[in-house]
Chains A and B, each alone.
Chain A
Amino acid sequence: MSTKAKEILALALIFAFSLIFYIGKVLGWGAVRFSTTVSLIVILLVALSLLWILILTIRGHLVERRIVFLYVGIAVALPLFMTLSQRIAISPEVEAVYNTLEGLPEGSKVLVSFDYDPPSAPELQPMAEAFLYYCFEHDLKVIMMGLWPQGPMQANMAIEKVLSDEKIKSKNLKYGEDYVNLGFQAGYEFVIQRMGSDFRSMFPTDYRGTPYEQIPLVKNVKNFSNIDYCFNLSSGFPGTREWVQIAVDRYGVTLGAGNTAVQAPQMYPFMRAGQLVGLLGGMVGAAEFEFLTKWIGKGTKFMISQSFAHVIVIAFIIIGNVAFFRSERKTGLKR
């Protein structure tokens, strides 16, 4: 089979699977689930096959990278069907975000900046949902905005999901009074700087086109001094770093953040310096926060996949090093 034919076949398969999943979603098909016993058998089989690859490597047969891709695919996909529970340990960074929220009285105004786009949504969207759930459950007023063009759309998606929850639905929250989406504003960190003196200058209307002064929730919000807590969901520039440099350092805002796993390590110096009050890092951070807020979303559900993927990568690093030392020894003997 030629490469072109293989590509077409792969595309056709992807299209067919996407169509089946979409039809299933529309018609409300039930999810396929492995029992705990089947899940454990699958794990055992994967572990045994990894052991076999290790033996092959010791014998001198190196696996090609397509096998690694296959294992990563299996590690991510199969756990989605498994029914296994894991104990989630809460890190001090996540606990700090939760404790700060706990300290806010009812009616406090919380500003949430959605500075990310769909590629980072698997990590950041669960954080956004859990955060909004907590705010609505505890009667905090939420003002949303975005320094990324796609941010306000992500905010809409999170709001839609949280508002469909029975507990939140019963609160009968009103747009403009309990929450508002101010939309996107171009200008990167200069938007934050201008918000320090006047929110309205950067957001003359909300994302629906309602004038700022006609929105009950924000008509008395002039600048950061009227905001009780800021939370930034970020996956790059402009993001948490810019919020720390301007909103925190310049205007004394209390800031918490949710970052992708790649970006989170860069924020630790800000946390240690007290400029950042809490940090949710990657999907693990999302799962921990979901556990604390009791909003069980995708962060928790995907944690099994995350665990599997990490174990598979570690296994292949070990196999790779075994191959390395084996080749080193051979070279040494030849010398």
Chain B
Amino acid sequence: MSEEIEKNNVALPEPGSLVLSTSPHVQDGDSITKIMVKVLICLLPAVAASIWFFRFDAIRILVYCASFCIFAEYGWTLATRQRATVGDYSALVTGVILALNLPPGVPWWICAVGSIFAIIIVKELFGGLGQNPFNPAAAARVALLVGFAGPMTQWAAPAAGSLISGATPLGAIQAAKGSAEAIAHLGAPDNLMNLFFGNVGGSIGETSALAILIGGLGLMAFRLIKWQIPLAMLVTIFVFTGIVHMAAPGLTPNPIYHVLSGGVMIGAFFMATDMVTSPITPLGALVFGALIGILTCIIRIWGAYPEGVSFSIVIANALVPLIDRMCYIRPFGWHSHSASALQIRRGEIK
């Protein structure tokens, strides 16, 4: 027998050299880094659209945000003497998404403040990746909007094509409020096409619904996001604004206008679906998406701010643990008469 082994030239494993772990002993090969890279690939259409419409401004903001985010995370892990985590690309993803949420005219220090806020205060102070309750990019956008309203509302025209009246589509609603005619004019098919392709003012990444949709479909194809969230969010916004538009045509434009304008598309596909800050149960994801939709509509139609997506996402993030608890799925084989499970949960028996 041993001659056969020598023929094969490899000895049987030596004691002490084998790996010991619990089962399972194989994995499917995916990793956090690979997921982040796929998300970046799905962001490329939106990035390309932003550069197409806003030229150098877009490149400038993207580079600043990405760099500041990466340096902020690296600096933090260095200062707190932890293993460097920038290698998992999550800081880069946050940087890109934050950049896509900023108006084209922002100075460099807005990018810096936003990035540092997103990475250090919203993410690292809570414990790093996986522990943050709030979406870093959304929370940073909210903080910047509230703290630096001036620079954050300077809108520039896109480099190509014509502008609709009013600096951004949502700003245009405020301008046209009260007049059913003006609102209807906003919702005209020409304008909707502009909205769809991105030929409008707004943050550099949120204008082109088409680019975001391509990226969003990519996310769903790669099975990176919980599809219930964008579905629930878009359907809710559509239905809610549809009802309001039919009831009060002078108040708000038609639902297609709402879905294609502002941060709804990018919020639905790239921000609300952030894994760490969204519910983990399928039903919870639906409720979460619907909640964001309702809040967005309320803020847009009756609130002081023209845009409500970032606020809604942050509010809904705070409710995620509660949503998960309420939408919990029963284990396989749980019967209404099986005493053990439910009674333990209720504390009726130990």
Do A and B associate with each other?
no
- Which residues of B approach A to under 8 Å, CB–CB? none
